[in-house]
């Protein structure tokens, strides 16, 4: 499909998904929220050739400025609620997407943009990026998963400081606190992110999907229940042809060719 607010490029099983409203700070307006739901919903049903996703923003200054406050000016409570329902679905799609999602944070990630970063599987960011959850300074609270995903990334006490102060923090602080996995230069961000995405895409697709689901359970259940979930996920990989190919390739000292079967 073609989109008005998104750019997509699929190469070597890696889908690069770019938020493409640079003139508006890549802010999440109703059209972008709708298009993201269509794209992510389709991937949930059938990822096809996609084995990893890179989520980034157009330009070199802003990853995503959060909700489009110009569009929201004068919105009725009902219109606000309806628009926000789209954001709620996106959070669920990001967390439950069967393939891994890496954010390549090319610039500022404020409000909902910061929530996108904390909702994906992990993130790399440029050294000039800045982050903030500014909602409490606007009379609301994070509503795109921020009060749930951020504490899982940076810890409860740090998340409270970030959310309650609404203060901005740097890429280095984001890395030190656990929101970013790596800090890059603007020149190397996409190359480093893509290298990691390609490495993931080169592994067995069924195993990657099962591992992601199992890891997500780690913070949602007790250890015994989580381990039972892991075993169910593990045994789903045993009858796959990729499992047979992986062992055979190891013994033949060659790179495996996985088909997702």
The answer to whether 60 is a known catalytic residue is no
SS (H, E, C) 208-241: HHHHHHHHHHHHCCCHHHHHHHHHHHHHHHCCCH
Q: In sequence order, what are the residues at sequence separation of 6 or more whose Cβ sits closer than 8 angstroms to the Cβ of residue 244? A: none
The answer to whether 135 is a known catalytic residue is yes
| C-beta atoms surrounding 136 within 10 Å | 13
Return d(Cα 164, Cα 179) in angstroms, integer: 17
3: number of CA atoms within 13 Å, CB side? 20
| Residue 93 region by backbone torsions, left for phi larger than 0, else alpha for psi between -120 and 50, else beta | alpha
Return d(Cα 107, Cα 129) in angstroms, integer: 4
Per-residue tokens: 17: 């998904």
Q: Are 29 and 5 in contact (CB under 8 A)?
A: yes
Catalytic residue among 115, 161, 192, 261: 115
Return d(Cα 100, Cα 179) in angstroms, integer: 16
Specify burial of residue 45 (Cβ count, 10 A radius: 0-12, 13-18, 19+). Answer: exposed
Per-residue tokens: 1: 């499909």
Catalytic residue among 31, 71, 78, 135: 135
Catalytic residues: 115, 135
């Amino acid at each position: 499909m073609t989109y008005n607010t998104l750019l997509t490029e699929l190469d070597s099983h890696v889908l690069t998904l770019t938020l493409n409203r640079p003139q508006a700070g890549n802010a999440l307006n109703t059209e972008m929220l709708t298009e993201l739901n269509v794209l992510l919903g389709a991937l949930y049903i059938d990822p096809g050739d996609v084995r990893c996703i890179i989520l980034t923003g157009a330009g070199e200054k802003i990853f995503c400025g959060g909700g489009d406050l110009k569009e929201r000016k004068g919105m009725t409570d009902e219109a606000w609620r309806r628009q926000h329902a789209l954001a709620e679905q996106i959070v669920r799609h990001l967390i439950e997407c069967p393939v891994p999602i890496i954010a390549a944070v090319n610039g500022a990630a404020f409000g909902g943009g910061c929530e996108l970063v904390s909702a994906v599987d992990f993130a790399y960011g440029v050294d000039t990026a800045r982050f903030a959850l500014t909602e409490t300074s606007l009379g609301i609270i994070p509503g795109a998963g921020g009060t749930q995903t951020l504490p899982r990334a940076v810890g409860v006490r740090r998340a409270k400081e970030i959310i309650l102060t609404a203060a901005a923090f740097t890429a280095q602080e984001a890395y030190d606190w656990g929101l970013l996995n790596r800090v890059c230069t603007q020149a190397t961000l996409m190359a480093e992110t893509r290298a990691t995405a390609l490495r993931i895409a080169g592994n067995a697709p069924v195993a990657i999907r099962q591992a992601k689901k199992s890891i997500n359970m780690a913070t949602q259940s007790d250890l015994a229940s989580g381990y039972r979930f892991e075993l169910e996920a593990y045994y789903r990989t045993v009858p796959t042809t990729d499992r047979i190919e992986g062992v055979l390739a190891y013994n033949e000292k060659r790179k495996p060719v996985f088909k997702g079967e």
